[in-house]
A and B are shown apart, each in its own frame.
Chain A
Amino acid sequence: MVAAFALNVEDMREASAPAPGGRFFALFDANALIAAIARSGDRAAFVALFDHFAPRVKGLLMRGGTPAELAEEIAQETLLTVWRKAALFDPAKANASTWIATIARNRRIDIARREARSRLSQVYEILDEDGPEQPDETISGAERDARIRAAMTGLSADQYRVVELAFLEEFSHQDVAQRLAIPLGTVKSRLRLALSHLRGKLEDLR
């Protein structure tokens, strides 16, 4: 897992995008790409962003058990939302991956629960627009995101898998237990351990 992470970071560094139209992005800088879309509807920037993130959104959804076709549709809608809402992205609040992951979550809810006329994505949007989280907040969202990445490299492969499923699977520890073929109590205790590990790391950093 740690190795996979390192590899992906390298991918991001190497994915310098010589964009059609004469622009050139020396590094894959998602913030700059989103800013370019917000500023001038830069289509080359959108293509670079799409090529990087859409296959990852699709991969993440499929890891959570979403069928490929549906995952593809949600990934499309996610990047379409990125295109339309680029001006609302605030790099001080969260990094691009986090912002896009929350958009993917909301679009997944809209699409997966469309027959139930779910309004849950609006609930998340209301919470997101709500004021500052802590008046005494000393670190920026982007800094926090970087620290969380660091903290996650300290998870064992087992812990990483359980954390992944905690976010990606419908809320049922029983399902996770069956999937990993381990007892339910073990799932709960591993999840608590993994989350408290993360929490401990984050509290050290506060």
Chain B
Amino acid sequence: MSIAHRPSDETLAAFAGGRLDEGLALAVAAHVELNSESRRLVHELEAVQGALLDRIEPVAMSTGALDRIEQHPASRHPTEPRVVEPGMPAVLLPYAFGPWRPIGIRIAMRRVEVPGSQARVFMLRAGPGIALPHHKHTGFEWTTILSGAYEHEYGRYAAGDFDEADAEHDHTPRVDPVEGCTCLVAMTGNVLFQGWLGRLLQPLVRL
């Protein structure tokens, strides 16, 4: 099978620090949920922050410890069981979705509403064997494959993989001929399409 594709260390560090744009962070989060190696690395990077916290120069607080806790009893927070749609990562649950909308033959998309994000976030579902249009980016296009697979100039991307494309990449993804592909995409900047399918994708990426 394919080699697992994972985010760069810098991206995971920014993610672990809570420093990514929310839409981009969501694409990373879906991958982290599906990939145990990245999950371990995120936990390690969180531990790095714990170490930073221990080493930092303290800055005196002007408010005291007990100012606020009076109104807040120490309490257990039982977590409610979450209902996850099959094929949908749990990290998407806090967000609202649009309906699945066909944007071509055997291609459909569904917007994920991420208020405050500079990125457009959407799920994309493409039937077996479809070639997505050749395109370049002016910003980021970060993709987590939720099911199925696609392949392009930089390798084969299967369920759980992360495809971290930026302005340096241009590619022509081809969807797996048997399984098709569903993925979560976060996109910033513009996408420069070549070919007829690009026009179909225009409403999707607001060119």
Please indicate whether A and B come from the same complex rather than being unrelated chains. Answer: yes
CB proximity of A64 to chain B, nearest CB, Å: 8
Residue B2 is within 8 A (CB to CB) of chain A in the complex? no
Over the window 13-56 of chain A, the binary record of Cβ atoms lying under 8 Å from chain B Cβ atoms (1 yes, 0 no) is: 00000000000000000000000011001010011001101111
Residue B102 is within 8 A (CB to CB) of chain A in the complex? no
Residues B65 and A47 in contact, CB atoms below 8 Å apart: yes
Q: Specify the main secondary structure of chain B where it touches its partner.
A: helix
In the assembled complex, which residues on chain A have CB atoms less than 8 Å from the CB atom of B52?
Answer: 60, 101, 163-164, 167-168
Over the window 68-105 of chain B, the binary record of Cβ atoms lying under 8 Å from chain A Cβ atoms (1 yes, 0 no) is: 11001111110100100000001101110000000000
In the assembled complex, which residues on chain B have CB atoms less than 8 Å from the CB atom of A109?
Answer: 18
CB proximity of A27 to chain B, nearest CB, Å: 15
Over the window 106-122 of chain A, the binary record of Cβ atoms lying under 8 Å from chain B Cβ atoms (1 yes, 0 no) is: 10110001011111101
Query: With contacts A80-B69, A84-B77, A122-B94 known, is A127 near B53, CB below 8 A?
Result: no
In the assembled complex, which residues on chain A have CB atoms less than 8 Å from the CB atom of B21?
Answer: 171
Over the window 29-70 of chain B, the binary record of Cβ atoms lying under 8 Å from chain A Cβ atoms (1 yes, 0 no) is: 100110010011111111111111111111111111111110
**Which of B8-16, B127-135, B151-159, B197-205 lines the interface with chain A?**
B8-16
CB proximity of A17 to chain B, nearest CB, Å: 12
CB proximity of B11 to chain A, nearest CB, Å: 8
B residues lining the A interface (CB < 8 Å): 9-10, 13-14, 16-22, 24-26, 29, 32-33, 36, 39-69, 72-77, 79, 82, 90-91, 93-95, 115-117
25 interchain pairs (CB within 8 A)?
A41-B74, A50-B61, A55-B58, A55-B59, A59-B56, A83-B74, A98-B47, A100-B50, A106-B18, A116-B116, A117-B115, A119-B95, A120-B26, A123-B25, A123-B26, A124-B18, A126-B33, A126-B82, A130-B90, A163-B48, A170-B19, A191-B9, A191-B10, A198-B44, A202-B44
Given A54-B61, A76-B63, 15 further pairs, Cβ under 8 A: A8-B55, A50-B65, A55-B60, A58-B58, A60-B53, A75-B61, A84-B75, A99-B50, A127-B39, A163-B48, A164-B52, A167-B52, A168-B52, A188-B10, A199-B41
